[in-house]
Chains A and B, each alone.
Chain A
Amino acid sequence: MIEDKVNKTVNDEADACCCGPATRNNIRYTVIPAAGKIQTEAGEIDVVPVNWVFRDYLGWILVRLNINRMEYAVKPGLYAVGKPDRSSPVLVTANYKLSFDVVRKELAGLNAWLMAIDTKGINVWCAAGKGTFGTMELIKRIGTTGLEKVVDLKRIILPQLGAPGVAAHIIRDFTGFWVLYGPVRASDIKKYLDAGMKADTRMRRAEFGLLDRLAVSWLEAVLFLKILIPVSFLIGGAGFLLSRHFSSPLLWNKSVFVIALLWVAAFTGSVLNAALLPYIPGKAFSFKGSLLGAVVTAILMLLSGYSLSWLSWFSVLILMSAVSGYIALNYTGSSTFTSRSGVDKELKYALPVLIGMAGFSVIIQAIILAGWFL
Chain B
Amino acid sequence: MNLRYLSGVTTLSYDSDKCRGCGMCAQVCPHGVFALENGKAKITDKDACIECGACRKNCPFEAIQVRAGVGCAAAVIGGMLRKKSPSCGPDTKGGGCC
Q: Which residues of A contact B (CB under 8 A)?
A: 12, 15-19, 22-24, 70, 120, 122-123, 125-126, 128-130, 160-161, 163-169, 181, 184, 199, 201, 204-206, 208, 219-220, 223, 226, 277-279, 283-285, 329-347, 351
Q: 1/0 contact trace for B49-74 toward A, CB 8 Å?
A: 11111100110100000011111111
Given contact pairs A201-B32, A347-B77, A283 touches B4 in the complex (Cβ within 8 A)? yes
Q: 1/0 contact trace for B25-67 toward A, CB 8 Å?
A: 0011111100000000000000011111110011010000001
CB of B41 to closest CB in A, whole Å: 15
Whether the Cβ atoms of B54 and A329 lie closer than 8 Å is: no
Whether the Cβ atoms of B98 and A284 lie closer than 8 Å is: no
Contacting A206 at CB < 8 Å: which of B2, B30, B94, B96?
B30
Whether the Cβ atoms of A122 and B58 lie closer than 8 Å is: no
Q: Whole-angstrom distance between the alpha carbons of A324 and B60 in the complex?
A: 44
Whether the Cβ atoms of A333 and B95 lie closer than 8 Å is: yes
Contacting A164 at CB < 8 Å: which of B5, B48, B57, B60?
B57
Note all chain B residues with C-beta closer than 8 A to A17: 68-70, 85-88
Chain A CB count within 10 A is highest, among B11, B28, B69, B89, for B89
Whether the Cβ atoms of B4 and A337 lie closer than 8 Å is: yes
Query: Interface majority SS on B: helix, strand, loop or mixed?
Result: loop
Whether the Cβ atoms of A284 and B87 lie closer than 8 Å is: no
Whether the Cβ atoms of A340 and B96 lie closer than 8 Å is: no
Note all chain A residues with C-beta closer than 8 A to B9: 339, 341-342, 344-345
Whether the Cβ atoms of B49 and A164 lie closer than 8 Å is: no
Note all chain A residues with C-beta closer than 8 A to B11: 341
Given contact pairs A164-B52, A333-B74, A340 touches B6 in the complex (Cβ within 8 A)? no
B19 at the interface (CB under 8 A from A): no
Query: Interface majority SS on A: helix, strand, loop or mixed?
Result: helix
Whether the Cβ atoms of B32 and A205 lie closer than 8 Å is: yes
Note all chain B residues with C-beta closer than 8 A to A331: 96
Q: Whole-angstrom distance between the alpha carbons of A15 and B88 in the complex?
A: 13
Q: Whole-angstrom distance between the alpha carbons of A39 and B49 in the complex?
A: 45
CB of A350 to closest CB in B, whole Å: 8
Given contact pairs A163-B58, A333-B98, A340-B70, A22 touches B91 in the complex (Cβ within 8 A)? yes
A-B contact pairs, 21 of them (CB 8 A): A17-B69, A18-B69, A18-B87, A22-B90, A22-B91, A128-B54, A129-B53, A129-B70, A163-B54, A205-B32, A206-B31, A220-B96, A278-B3, A332-B73, A333-B72, A333-B73, A333-B74, A333-B88, A339-B71, A340-B67, A342-B5
Whether the Cβ atoms of B30 and A340 lie closer than 8 Å is: no
Whether the Cβ atoms of B30 and A126 lie closer than 8 Å is: no
CB of A146 to closest CB in B, whole Å: 26
Given contact pairs A130-B87, A168-B24, A333-B88, A284 touches B6 in the complex (Cβ within 8 A)? yes
Q: Whole-angstrom distance between the alpha carbons of A212 and B57 in the complex?
A: 27
The 10 A-B residue pairs whose C-beta atoms are closest, nearest first, are A333-B97, A333-B72, A18-B85, A340-B69, A126-B98, A338-B71, A163-B54, A206-B30, A163-B28, A19-B87
Whether the Cβ atoms of A337 and B6 lie closer than 8 Å is: no
The residue of chain B having its C-beta at the shortest distance from the C-beta of A5 within the complex is: B60
Whether the Cβ atoms of A205 and B30 lie closer than 8 Å is: yes
CB of B98 to closest CB in A, whole Å: 3
Q: Whole-angstrom distance between the alpha carbons of A24 and B91 in the complex?
A: 9
Whether the Cβ atoms of B90 and A24 lie closer than 8 Å is: yes
**Known contacts A123-B98, A347-B76, then 6 further A-B pairs from the complex at CB < 8 Å, ordered by chain A residue:** A18-B87, A330-B74, A332-B73, A337-B5, A337-B48, A339-B49
